Amino acid sequence: MRHTHGSIEVICGSMFSGKTDELIRRLVRATIAKQKVQVFKPAIDIRYAVEKVTSHTGSNYAAVPVERASDLRSRLEQDTTVVGIDEAQFMDAEIVKVAQELAARGIRVLIAGLDMDFRGEPFGAMPALMAEAEDVSKLHAICMICGGEASRTQRLVNGNPARYDDPIVIVGAAEMYEARCRMHHEVPR
């Protein structure tokens, strides 16, 4: 089943906000609707499985790991109508152009990723993807300090907040990261 027009949908938020669960929910619905779905993820993300996108709650969906955004072009099958991309913040800047091209071809592009890095600053190509999208869903987690709505990702090093000049990309999960609200998010300089 082909779409009458393509689109870009972005699912963003902090870690533990349910981005991958929401991506998988939309992918499953597309599959039920008999649409041809392909899912891609950055090869750097090997936390749970190499050839699956997997949420922190254990939901998963088969995926193709790619080194660069441009690899999607050569891996895309002719009859694909829905493309899912998880952890888009780890993709290179070319992901914006690739998403635009896919949408222009009539493909529904579903993208999930962190909108901000551990510093609380825009992460990778996510701001540009959000600007290009027809729909942006910003999800929130629960602050690990106060229980309020969390919009930020706190990186921890030996139980303490990571410093501003620490590396931006370190792939990890609950052992290194917490969801935090604005008030409790700390980035020592």
Which of 141, 111, 138 lies closest to 42 in space, CA to CA? 111
* Size of the chain in residues: 189
Distance CA 14, CA 99 (A): 22
On the 0-12 / 13-18 / 19+ scale of CB atoms within 10 A, 105 is middle
Residue 135 DSSP symbol: E
Q: Which residues contact 75 (CB under 8 A, 6 or more apart)?
A: 38, 40, 64, 66
Distance CA 25, CA 102 (A): 21
Active site amino acids:
87
